[in-house]
């Protein structure tokens, strides 16, 4: 890799300058490389510039304006696949580019449905899930076909969970280049997650589960919302990925 390129990226505040330089040089050369470097130095996220992100051992297409899946969400995948069987019905809500649903389907051949309110996200997800799942555009469960009611074995959701007042403190890569609708969880960060918990029982099959990513501080309140909605909650934690989620099973 080019030492001058690494130095430019490091000077711009890129913590993993050497790795980023190698990825950019592998993606382009000449004038196109310089264009990408300038955009990266200006603060654009690396992954949309490259056009992909590595997630759970696979490569996922991402485009500008779409939420970039974080490594911590891999823990949600691993928790969701426990107990799944071939042919199980899985719904990935707030799917973004479709990374979580695709990773689940790569591990277990399921009937996959993914939904997001943002048409830019669902267009990207449709590319990633072509031949693997069906993508729907709409607000949470409103996006899904009625034929799924009472049939879903697992709902997995990386709902927005940043408190609205906390968005200003996020890194510029996120707050300036990712859609606010994918970040803003309302006053305490749990508004979308509570909506999922309140509605999910109508969609789950008997004994079905819902898993929602959250923060360690928010997990107790989210677990309480699960209980109020008739779900038996269990909190999950993956220290290696700095991941927290709540897993709720539909009570009989």
Q: How confident is the model at residue 163 (pLDDT cuts 50, 70, 90)?
A: very high
Locate 37 and state its tokens. Answer: 């470097």
**CA gap 16, 68 in Å, rounded:** 17
Residues facing 243 on adjacent strands: 238
For residue 57, what is the DSSP state? T
The span from the CA of 171 to the CA of 15, in Å, is: 13
H and E: helices and strands count for the chain: 10, 9
Confidence at 171, pLDDT banded by 50, 70, 90 = confident
Confidence of residue 1 (pLDDT cuts 50, 70, 90): low
State residue 172's pLDDT score: 86
What's the whole-number mean pLDDT along residues 43-70?
A: 94
Q: Out of 23-32, 89-98, 193-202, 234-243, which region has the weakest mean confidence (pLDDT)? A: 23-32
pLDDT at 248: 98
Percent of the chain predicted with pLDDT > 70: 100
Q: Are 98 and 125 in contact (CB under 8 A)?
A: yes
Q: Which of 27, 72, 77, 76 is nearest to 48 (CA)?
A: 27
Question: pTM higher than 0.95, yes or no?
Answer: no
SS3 135: strand
> 173-187, pLDDT tens digit by residue?
899 999 999 999 999
Buried b (16+ CB within 10 A) or exposed e, 129-158: beebbebbbeebbebbeeebeeebbbbbbb
Nearest C-alpha neighbor of 181 from the set 158, 203, 197? 158
3-class DSSP assignment, residue 180? helix
* Structural tokens at position 158: 């990386």
Confidence of residue 15 (pLDDT cuts 50, 70, 90): confident
Q: What are residue 246's DSSP bridge partners?
A: 212, 235
């Amino acid at each position: 890799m080019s030492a001058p390129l690494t130095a430019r990226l490091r000077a711009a505040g890129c913590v993993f300058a050497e790795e980023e330089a190698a990825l950019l040089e592998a993606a382009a050369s000449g004038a196109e490389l310089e264009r990408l470097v300038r955009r990266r130095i200006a603060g654009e996220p690396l992954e949309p510039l490259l056009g992909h992100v590595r997630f759970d051992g696979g490569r996922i297409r991402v485009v500008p304006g779409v939420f970039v899946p974080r490594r911590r969400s891999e823990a949600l995948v691993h928790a969701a696949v426990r107990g799944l069987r071939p042919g199980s019905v899985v719904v990935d809500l707030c799917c973004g580019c479709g990374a979580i649903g695709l990773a689940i389907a790569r591990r277990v051949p399921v009937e996959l449905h993914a939904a997001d309110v943002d048409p830019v996200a669902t267009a990207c997800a449709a590319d990633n899930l072509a031949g693997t799942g069906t993508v729907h555009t709409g607000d949470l469960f409103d996006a899904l076909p009625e034929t799924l009611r009472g049939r879903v074995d697992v709902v997995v959701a990386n709902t927005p969970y940043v408190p609205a007042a906390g968005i200003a403190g996020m890194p510029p890569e996120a707050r300036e280049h990712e859609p606010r609708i994918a970040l803003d969880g309302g006053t305490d960060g749990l508004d979308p997650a509570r909506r999922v918990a309140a509605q999910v029982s109508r969609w789950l099959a008997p004994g079905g589960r819902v898993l929602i990513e959250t923060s360690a501080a928010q997990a107790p309140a989210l677990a309480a919302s699960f209980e109020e909605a008739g779900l038996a909650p269990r909190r999950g934690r993956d220290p290696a990925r700095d991941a927290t989620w709540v897993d709720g099973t539909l009570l009989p």
